[in-house]
Structures are given as structure tokens and as C-alpha cells.
Amino acid sequence: MASTDMVDKDVLVDIFTRADLIMQSDIKFRQMIGAGQLQIVYYPVRGQEVVSSAMMAAVNQDDYLVTIYRGLHDQLAKGIPSKELWAEFAGKMTGTCKGKGGPMHITHPATGVMVTTGIVGSGIPIANGLGLASQLEKDGKVTVCCFGDGATNIGAFHEGLNMAQIWKLPVIFLCQNNLYGEHTHMRDTTGSASIKQRGEGLGMRSVQVNGNDASAMYTAAKEAVDHARAGNGPTLIEAMTFRFHGHLLGDTSHYIPKEEMEQAKKDDPMPILRQQLLDLQISEADVAAIEAKNAAIIEEAAQFALDSDYPPGDEYRIDVLDVEIAA
């Protein structure tokens, strides 16, 4: 992994603003679920905030995103409105998807969040279709496709990366390598030494980066975006990161050696990034203001979600086809 100079102050602030919203949202979700205020299956994102914040800081809101069940950080970083997001997590009619999709299927085309899938690896072929549309349309958009290390073992990964490569599609494959797929360590499932190696095997421009280092991650992201927008095709970014709260809430991470978890928490990207801002002479007050603003957004969103109504039962007949299904 090449080390990189630190990126511009403005960019770092932007990344921090997104990342802090993610971190606080994750904490709040876990609190509310713990308190019984929300009853949902939740895939924590604490630890992976910087990867997606830096990535999304490098694209525009009308660029496309395809992500997975563990997608809260990607969606928030992409700019999805918190109120509708929270309402969807809570299954309310005011949610992005009227409560029909839920946390695993967040969609919000207005901010480019096109697909969230619960099937490992399946977003990859779909991302190609968005990229194909952009290529045909010549609209200059790029598609960011997020998935985990475990997903690189499934067939769709292989087929999708190859197709993107031969057609030079403007897609960035962002593998957020947190070393575990559910409870299984990457070394037990992956014949190659890295995910980058797999990308190279497919002939694709591939980079490995410390995803928890905002500057390194942003630089890798920006290069991939520029490469794609210039019509030079896709990039596989293997962003090294870690998840602090298990595969889903309730998972005790029993399969992660204690030392590994301790080391990862010592390397927590959030305090590091915060300190970087302070080091750049951004005042504690300014940083706190960002945090306070994010906290307010989340409070409002959580309340909105709780206050909103559930969809009526017969909503299930709507949006199956383009016409309503008879009762």
C-alpha cells in the first residue's frame, strides 16, 4: 500500500462531516435497538466510516451507488436524507421505500442510491448496467459498487468484473475488506493473498489502500473516478478496514481473536481523522459544531421515524407490477 500525502483541508472536513454522521447514526441505531425502540436486524458499520466517506467525497450526488445490507455508511456518505432513511429502517410509510424494502434494500435515486442488495455479490452485475447506461448516454457519471471481502468468492464478482473490464465501463468496485465474511476469516476462504490480486488476474486496474486513512482512501478514490470519467474503464479498490460490532447486532465477534479486535480499535479511523482536523488548525469548536449538527440531524430523523405511520396492509398490492394487483 503506497503511502499518500494528506489531501486538502476542505476535503478532509468534508470526509469527516460524512464519517461523523455515519458514526453517530450507527451508535444511535444500536442504542435504539438495544432499548427496544426499533426491532430490526442491523448490520453495524462502526469502523468502516472513513472508507465510504472518502469514496463518496470523490464523486457527485448524481453519480450512482450500488451497495449491500451493510450499507448505512455508504448511503449516508452518498448524501441520502436521514429522515427518509431512518423511516425506512423503521418500516414506515415515510421511508425511502414506503417501508417495503427495509434496511437491506434502501433505494433513493435522487441521491444516486440505486440498489441495496442482501444477496452477496449480486450488486456487481447490476452496477455494470448503470455504468453501461452512462457509457451509452455519455452522461459522464460513474457508478460506485460496494461489497465486502467475502463477496469476492462468489461467481457474480468474477463475471461482473470481467464484463466491466472488457467494456471499459465507468464503474468503481469498492471492496471494503474488513477481513471477515460473517464469522469466517478471509484467510480460510480466499486462495489469493489479496483481493487486489484477483482484480489483476482479471486484467483490471487494481489498488489496495488503507481505507481507514482518509487521505489515502480519498486519493485512491479520486484516481479511480478520474480514470473512469476519462473513459478508461473500471478500477478495483481494495480498501482495508475493520468492523467493530460483529456481522450483525448481537454477534459477539467470538471468532475474532481478542488482540486483533484490540488492535483494530486502537486504529479506529474516527479519532485519527478528528485529530487530523485539529492538527490542521481546525478548531475544536468547529469540529464540535459539525458533530452537533450531525447529532441534530440524527435526532430529528430518529424522531421522524418513530412518529411516522406504518404503511397500510394492502400496500403489498402496489408496486409489484406497474398496475395495482387486485385484492
Partner 1 sequence: MSDTAEKPKDIMFAQALNMAMNKAMADDPKVILLGEDIADKEGGGVFKVTAGLSGTYGTDRVRSTPISEQAIVGAAVGAALVGYKPVAEIMLMNFITVAMDQIVNHAAKLRFMSGGQTSVPLTIRTTTGAGTGLGGQHSDMLEAWLAHVPGLKVVAASNPQDAYGLLYSSIMDDNPVIFIENTPGYFVKGPAPAADHTVPLGKASIPREGTDITLIGYGSAISRCHAAADKLAEDGISCEIVDLRTIAPFDEETVLKSVAKTKAAVVVHEAVRSFGTGAEISSRIHEELFSELRAPVGRVGSGYAPVPFSPAIEKAWMFSQDDIEREVHKILG
Ligand X SMILES: Cc1ncc(C[n+]2csc(CCOP(=O)(O)OP(=O)(O)O)c2C)c(N)n1
Q: How far is Cα 220 from Cα 215, in angstroms, rounded to an integer?
A: 9
Nearest approach in angstroms of CB 106 to Mg ion is 19
Tally helices (H) and strands (E) across the chain: 11, 8
The window from 19-27, 43-51, 106-114, 276-284 that contacts partner 1 (CB under 8 A) reads: 106-114
| 178 lies in the binding site for ligand X (CB under 6 A) | yes
Q: Which residue has the cell 471499459?
A: 168
Strands 180-181 and 184-185: antiparallel
Residues 6+ apart with CB under 8 A from 207: 196, 220, 223, 224, 235, 236, 237, 238
Q: In the chain, which ranges are continuous DSSP H helix?
A: 9-34, 49-57, 72-78, 82-89, 123-137, 155-166, 195-201, 214-229, 258-266, 269-279, 284-307
Q: Which residue has the cell 464503474?
A: 171
Q: What is the DSSP letter of 326?
A: P
Q: Site for partner 1 (CB under 8 A): which residue of 47, 79, 150, 211?
A: 150
| 149 lies in the binding site for ligand X (CB under 6 A) | yes
Site for Mg ion in 121-160 (CB under 5 A): 148-150
**Of residues 39 and 189, the one with the C-beta less far from its own copies:** 189
**Of residues 149 and 213, the one with the C-beta less far from its own copies:** 149
Q: Site for partner 1 (CB under 8 A): which residue of 107, 202, 272, 291?
A: 107
The window from 27-35, 159-167, 256-264, 288-296 that contacts partner 1 (CB under 8 A) reads: 159-167
Q: What is the DSSP letter of 317?
A: G
Nearest approach in angstroms of CB 120 to ligand X is 4
Nearest approach in angstroms of CB 65 to its own copies is 23
**Of residues 20 and 84, the one with the C-beta less far from partner 1:** 84
Q: Site for Mg ion (CB under 5 A): which residue of 178, 208, 235, 276?
A: 178
**Of residues 179 and 287, the one with the C-beta less far from ligand X:** 179
**Of residues 168 and 185, the one with the C-beta less far from Mg ion:** 185
219 phi-psi bin (left φ>0, alpha ψ -120 to 50, beta other): alpha
Nearest approach in angstroms of CB 288 to partner 1 is 36
Q: How far is Cα 304 from Cα 118, in angstroms, rounded to an integer?
A: 25
Q: How far is Cα 208 from Cα 290, in angstroms, rounded to an integer?
A: 30
**Of residues 26 and 149, the one with the C-beta less far from ligand X:** 149
The window from 47-55, 91-99, 215-223, 261-269 that contacts partner 1 (CB under 8 A) reads: 91-99
- Binding partner selected for residue 178 from partner 1, its own copies, ligand X, none, CB under the kind-specific 5 to 8 Å limit: ligand X
Residues 6+ apart with CB under 8 A from 101: 88, 95, 107, 116
**Of residues 83 and 196, the one with the C-beta less far from ligand X:** 196
Based on the number of CB atoms within 10 Å of its own CB, is 271 exposed (0-12), middle (13-18) or buried (19 or more)?
exposed
- Interface residues with ligand X (CB under 6 A) are 70, 118-120, 147-151, 178, 180-182, 247
- Interface residues with Mg ion (CB under 5 A) are 148-150, 178, 180-181
